[in-house]
Structure 1
Amino acid sequence: MARLEQLTTPVDAVLSRMRALDAALPERDGVAVFNRVYLAVTDEVGRRLSAGEFTDARAATTLDVRFAERYLAAVDAADADRRPPACWRPLFQLRRHPGVRPLQFALAGINAHIGHDLALAVVDTCRTLGCRPTELEDEFDRVGDLLVSLEERIREDLMPGPDLLQIADPLTHLLGSWSLERAREATWAAARALYALRHCSDVAEDFTERLDAAVGFAGRMLLTPLRD
């Protein structure tokens, strides 16, 4: 606890938590695979914040932290034997399945976090800062651009080599059906819809549950075991 009190920004706090998870989880664990990817993203966001690359550093920091908190809450729920959101359940349920490849784990985590958590994090940030989603669009786009560039690197790092392409053809087909760019566009639309529904709690809750379930279904498909 003393170490957390010495941290200078909320981004440092979430980075510390992710590094602790990285040290504690087995390397092949599906959550560990996603955590390493997300740690790299958050590290890069922190670096760019320090370099002054975000127009509104306060908004970017708040969005980044609210975003990370939803992933960490899902980890806490699973660790406490509580049900995480539906979007995260496939990853936690299949995290040790020998037939699921590391790239599938990484992209299933990205799917859950972008497809569901990011939309809610935008609304959380609007509530925290007293702003509208349109005022966060620049920060949203910058984080999205970073994720797209990292997704390309993830695919290169975790995709089987040329000698395995024939064996991995089902993997190529499966992962080719999912696009981070499309997920990002859908998330921005969902965030704006949720913000518009903020005074209609019943409708907003129903919308959120359906979004959660739909993203969870996509995650289940991404984690289709390709061998026993």
Structure 2
Amino acid sequence: MEAVLARMRALDERLPAQDGVAVFNRVYLTVTQTLQRQVERGEFPGPRAARALTVRFAERYLAAVEADRAPACWRPLIQYRRHPGVRPLQYALAGINAHIGHDLALAVISTCRALDCEPGALEADFDRVGDTLVALEERIREDLMPGPDLLEIADPLTHLLGSWSLDRARSGAWAAARLLWTLRRSPELAQEFTESLDAGVGLVGRCLLTPTRLAVPA
């Protein structure tokens, strides 16, 4: 786990603070550090499986942001990362959407193959990771909330925040992982489903990054 944490810290040092990828990276670095402490304290039912899942999960994010061409689910965040009309909270949620909505299911499958087990064997650890993410999401929203104007129901950001749910996203990720495991002997169908999942999650990410404030002239 230290290897992926080191790569995230290197990204944090290299990227400008307001860069959209940097915003998500800081959030995810905190998440991964929290998961590492929980594994070390024995808070997961299967520490070995939890560690393997956490590492493979993180590696998918790092591969995406370091690639010449990222998967469709990550492209909105990468393309809009310096847009003056997008708020930091939107960057964080767009990254979480890509990572949970697409990467988590694929990380479950690669972990199952590495440990020679079925998804059911990882379900308790999957749920524990999800519970940690949900608990941290509220803090993330509070930390990155731009101000009391969000109490206005007509504020576009208020609408965006209410239209996406991490809890629903992780439920969808588990369903996608189970389906991909069922399709493992039909590689063409599995690839078709994975591409569809990637595109769908990318569309949601683009919506989450809808500019919600006017750019201030330099």
Does the alignment reach a TM-score above 0.5? yes
Q: Does 1:68 align with 2:58?
A: yes
Structure-2 separation of matches of 1:218 and 1:137: 26
Conservation of the 8 A alpha-carbon contact between 1:15 and 1:42:
yes
The share of aligned pairs that are identical, in percent, is 71
- Structure 1 range deviating more: 91-100 or 161-170: 161-170
Structure 2: which amino acid aligns with 1:98? P
2:211 maps to which residue?
Answer: 225
After superposition, give the CA deviation of every residue in 1:164-206 in whole Å (9 maximum; x if it has no partner).
6449811011121000000011110000000010010000000
Structure-2 separation of matches of 1:59 and 1:128: 10
2:139 maps to which residue?
Answer: 153
Report the TM-score when normalising by structure 1. Answer: 0.91
Structure-2 separation of matches of 1:155 and 1:163: 14
Conservation of the 8 A alpha-carbon contact between 2:150 and 2:158:
no
CA RMSD of superposed structures (Å): 1.2
Structure 2: which amino acid aligns with 1:61? R
Structure-2 separation of matches of 1:37 and 1:61: 19
Structure-2 separation of matches of 1:33 and 1:22: 9
- Structure 1 range deviating more: 216-225 or 46-55: 46-55
Conservation of the 8 A alpha-carbon contact between 2:15 and 2:22:
yes
Structure 2: which amino acid aligns with 1:22? D
Query: Which aligned pairs between 1:10-49 and structure 2 lie closer than 5 A?
Result: 11-49=1-39
Structure-1 separation of matches of 2:179 and 2:86: 34
After superposition, give the CA deviation of every residue in 1:43-88 in whole Å (9 maximum; x if it has no partner).
00110111111121110010001100100001110xxxx2100000
2:45 maps to which residue?
Answer: 55
Structure 2: which amino acid aligns with 1:36? R
Note the C-alpha offset of 1:162: 1.6
Note the C-alpha offset of 1:146: 0.4
Query: Which aligned pairs between 1:59-208 and structure 2 lie closer than 5 A?
Result: 59-77=49-67, 82-163=68-149, 165-166=151-152, 169-208=155-194
Counterpart of 1:197 in 2: which secondary structure? helix
Structure-2 separation of matches of 1:95 and 1:139: 32
Structure 1: which amino acid aligns with 2:132? L
Conservation of the 8 A alpha-carbon contact between 2:108 and 2:177:
yes
Counterpart of 2:42 in 1: which secondary structure? coil
- The gaps in structure 2 that reach 5 residues or longer are none
Aligned length: 214
Structure 1: which amino acid aligns with 2:77? L
Structure 2: which amino acid aligns with 1:27? A
Note the C-alpha offset of 1:99: 0.3
